[in-house]
Structure 1
């Protein structure tokens, strides 16, 4: 939970029905058409922050503003009449004393707000280069988290107030929020010693860098490096040769695949030949058996003619009757034998043809396998090693170019650093000036940069690549372009992103954090000519980011139209400017 959050805003007076807005701890969105009193909301809150002026139409009859704030220890009510510098405070938080406070002088309302974020003691900050001091007040930095419509698209940084003379005080206040250091005990004499020590450190650093550069250049000069045009020509030639060799590899790989297909076909044909040859052998064996059988029959018939038949039975010695002449099989067997012999002759002839065909196929298969082996050997032993050698040569040439470029860059750095060294050494001693920007360390700026980049990336800023906080202007540089070069819609968006980033940074890393952000019209004018689609994406992404990141404090957004998203986890207050439905506007009974 944040240190505090605004729970309720009440505007009343002269018998008018009080106008009340209730807020939640996280995201609050007030939306609706123009002239419904939305901007009055920021004016009222700012007035109770201690502003001397309020842009408020007295003719409305409303003349009293009240807000109720909730804390971990209770609630506090702030009550102020318009055109009065007295603010009544009623508190049941033991840290805050009830009573009448003023916008200036003793018992200042600023002390109440500072105490709510943990600043209990009085602090003085540096307000200009002469080390003059002023009291830290809530209003010294409130412009960083309460951003009105008239300034949301301003060209200067949203972290800096409009008055140039107040820049040092504002940044001193920000530095105090980050670190807790207020420079109240700063001594210009001590600062002069620090300046002299810093100057010596700069000179020593530059000399050390120049020594390092010289050492590195000597190392680079020992390496073989040719002319830049020569090296570039060599790189192009090697790339062309690599491309040519890779094309050959592709051709040979395709040829190898084709040979494999042909080998498969010939192998199938050879397998068929072998199968047919085996069948021929079985058939020859069958024919040989048939010829042997028939020959046996024919020879038997021939021997039978030479035998005399018995007239008596060898057992009983009785006469055997004469039988009719038995039929002979010799002629039929001889005819069958002749037919089979002819078939065998045909089979032998077919077998010879098959053997010749098989020999041709075996020869073709051997040729194909040999060619395939030669192709694979060429790819493996010649082309691929050639590619590897060419790539190694290409790396050497590119490395040579890098060495040459590094040497050129080092020379440029040497020239720049020599110039900086000369300026540092001849710098005249002058009265020490307080420069608050010098106190923002690299770590502080780098961490802020990381928050900025995360929010910008999440919010899908058009053509986003990189961004950083410029320590001289304390403003965003995005993709190398300063924010003030963008149109006002994009400036409003970037100012909002910076304010969100600062709120989250202080909440996570700061010594003290308001944990409050109030912005009027962050996207109202974003839809610029030619950028409609991209801007709609940015709008939706910004509001989605606010919906998804509510742990850093209370956010109050005032806007005309809001993107079509799921706002179930936000407090949305909508004004309709229509008598027939909803709430017309902020102030009850006021029509514009």
Structure 2
């Protein structure tokens, strides 16, 4: 089995909240997240996508109320990193720690610009991901057929489109932005690059190799300068630092034990400390009142967020009314319309059609009013959220002050107080000194870790150079023909479609102009069945993944699919009236067996590619009869009635 040259694996997602953290852990191979609607399933993939550089995160109300920041622990070609990002401001720099989530305090973070419009102190986030995955930094032509065409950077986001099939694209006719000419053109150039058939690939790879050699030399030079300085400054060695950390921790344990013993003896009560008791009483009262005020403010915040959501729904409805009105014929003599879902005839009754009785300008004015109200509410939400933060800060401060006063009262009310106070003060002084010493030692440890990382990075770049040298040599000897590439991908797709199986599985290929699937000699966007498009779109992305493993392409070794059962018959126990409605099931895709076969196919991929690849699937349920088989792949099960792991991603909402 070949090792992917762009190995990307998600280890852990952590959403930091105001009340607690929400954690999702992943493993190699197949990962399944399933459960009831509106429980935060899709938001998990949405957050992963955001932490990998997407411009936006879907900000539903529970996330906006309870969330603060998000962290993603990833393996990039077996090197561990933690990505940290502000979920409320996508323009902030993205922090990257060269460590696991648990150890980020032991390292210095790198700061990257979120896109190519804003450079961070350490460069662009996309370049960091591409370089870590050993994917060359190249530019592609805006108009490939023109010799003098302008060029544009190929970003990690362009490549990741072929790794993430979100719920809007599953079964969509316009998968991969087919109708957006400029974006789709870049997508096609990205497809060529991923599969090593881009015309300029040899030249671009030579440039990237030259840049990597330059960076390696810079890292080696920086390592020598820093190590020489540390040696001349008689800086502690790593072994010596680790020994001092261990010794300091042991001394702190001893000191804490002594302080605890002294505190346990200070149990006296006299009237001379009545003022201190009064201070404690007032603080407790202030804290309780603030908790009430904070609760009121949080309720107002939640109400405004929900109100804003309702206004947005009203705007969507009004926009839909405008679109429907524009689509309706001007008079009764015009031909009837066809339903866009089932091609059946829509019979219009103008007497009962309330939409056409309203002028478009009236609806547009109403939309403007709603948008104005949303702007006002946005200001209130920011003000109320800041107010909650102030309450929380005050509560932390007053609770600390209360704890100190209670501690002082306990200490000073001992019958024989002076000797114990003297001993305790001495111990606390030693503890403070030890904590200062420990912080200094930890800083030295961070510096040593940074130095080691320089050396490791130089070694990693050398490995990347060797790998790219091999690829470059192969490209120079003979770049694969695009017909051969799409032919091999089509073979994988054909095998998949026969396994599901679909009816009349013939005429299967990849269009050499669009690089999208062809089934029954019909282009993907001309397939009329939503269920068939769902099966084919999932199969297309799976085929790209399997081809990438076999031929070592630049496609990252991860696939994320949101809502696998879209348009499919998922469970034979569901009443017919509750299934997705189609007039005629000509494709036979309401048969739950096909849904089960789809999951069985994913399990077979897991068994083959477990060591090198990762597949993350979000769905509403599991196929009947496979619950036990699939249970070992489930990483999260949400249920509003509490049957699953929890009620949702944010389970205190």
Instruction: Output the TM-score relative to the length of structure 1.
Output: 0.52
8 Å Cα contact 1:179/1:510 also seen in 2? no
Taking the TM superposition and a 5 Å limit, the aligned residue runs for 1:520-559 are: 520-527=562-569, 529=582, 530-531=584-585, 535-550=591-606, 551=609, 553-559=613-619
2:13 pairs, out of 9, 19, 22, with 9
Matched, 1:441 2:482: yes
| Cα distance in 1 between the residues matched to 2:66 and 2:99 | 31
2: CA distance, partners of 1:25 / 1:114: 21
The separation in 1 between residues aligned to 2:590 and 2:78, in whole angstroms, is: 45
Encode CA deviations 1:472-525: one digit per residue, 9 max, x unaligned.
Answer: 332222123333322223212211110110111122114322011111112222
State the 1:41 CA deviation: 1.2
1:115 aligns with 2:116: no
Which residue of 522, 543, 564 corresponds with 1:481? Answer: 522
Question: Which residue is 2:42 aligned to?
Answer: 39
Structure 2 residue matching 1:16: 3-state secondary structure: coil
Aligned CA distance change for structure 1 residues 172 and 25 (closer, same or farther; 3 Å): same
User: Could you tell me how far apart the structure 1 residues matched to 2:82 and 2:99 are?
Assistant: 9
Partner of 1:555: helix, strand, or coil?
strand
Per-residue deviation, residues 429-479 of structure 1 (Å, max 9, x unmatched)? xxxxxxxxxx96221121111111111112212332341112233222212
User: Is the 8 Å Cα contact of residues 522 and 559 (structure 1) preserved in structure 2?
Assistant: yes
1:263 alignment counterpart = none
Root-mean-square deviation (Å): 2.8
Q: Does 2:574 correspond to 1:574? A: no
Superposed, 1:382-397 pairs within 5 Å as: none
Matched, 1:517 2:559: yes
CA distance in 2, matches of 1:126, 1:489: 35
Structure 2: distance between partners of 1:73 and 1:154: 34
Structure-1 residue corresponding to 2:152 = 134
Q: Partner of 1:99 in structure 2?
A: 110
Deviation at 1:10, TM superposition (A): 0.9
Deviates more, 1:170-179 or 1:527-536: 527-536
Residue-by-residue CA offset, 1:68-100 (whole Å, 9 max, x unaligned): 01345441100001113221100149xx99401
Look up the SS of the partner of 2:497 in the other structure.
Answer: helix
Structure 1 distance, partners of 2:165, 2:99, is 30
Name 2:621's counterpart in structure 1: 561
* Compared CA separation, residues 563 and 581, structure 1 to 2 (3 A): closer
State the distance in 2 between where 1:547 and 1:103 align.
Answer: 35
Deviation at 1:547, TM superposition (A): 0.5
| Displacement after TM superposition at 1:27 (Å) | 0.4
Pick closer, same or farther for the CA change 1:48–1:498 going to 2, 3 Å: same
Partners in 2 of 1:524 and 1:452 — Cα distance?
A: 19
Q: Gaps spanning 5+ residues in structure 2: where?
A: 101-106, 205-479, 570-580
State the alpha-carbon separation in 2 of the partners of residues 162 and 572 from structure 1.
36
Aligned residue for 1:141, secondary structure, equals helix
Distance 2:489 2:614 in 1: 20
Match of 2:86 in 1: 81
> Are the counterparts in 2 of residues 175 and 440 from structure 1 also a CA contact under 8 Å?
no
SS at match of 1:175: helix
CA separation in 1, counterparts of 2:553 and 2:644? 47
Q: Note the residue ranges of structure 1 that are not aligned, 5 or more in a row.
A: 188-438
> Compared with structure 1, are the counterparts of its residues 25 and 161 closer, same or farther at alpha carbon in structure 2 (3 Å cutoff)?
farther
The one-character-per-residue Cα deviations of 1:366-412 (angstroms, maximum 9, x if unpaired) are xxxxxxxxxxxxxxxxxxxxxxxxxxxxxxxxxxxxxxxxxxxxxxx
After TM superposition, list the pairs within 5 Å mapping 1:380-529 onto structure 2: 441-484=482-525, 485-527=527-569, 529=582
* CA distance in 1 between partners of 2:153 and 2:522 (Å): 36
Query: Does structure 1 conserve the Cα–Cα contact (< 8 Å) formed by 2:14 and 2:72?
Result: yes
* Counterpart residue number, 2:55: 52
Change (3 A) 1:48 1:580: closer
Contact 1:462–1:538 (8 Å) recurs in 2: no
Larger Rg: 1
Q: 1:47 to 1:134 in 2, by over 3 A?
A: same
Aligned residues: 335
Q: Distance in 2 between matches of 1:168 and 1:63?
A: 37
Q: Contact between 1:23 and 1:571, CA under 8 Å: does it hold in 2? A: no
Q: Tell me, in whole angstroms, the C-alpha distance in 1 between the residues paired with 2:518 and 2:90.
A: 42
2:287 aligns with none
Q: Distance in 1 between matches of 2:98 and 2:166?
A: 28
TM-score scaled by length of structure 2: 0.48
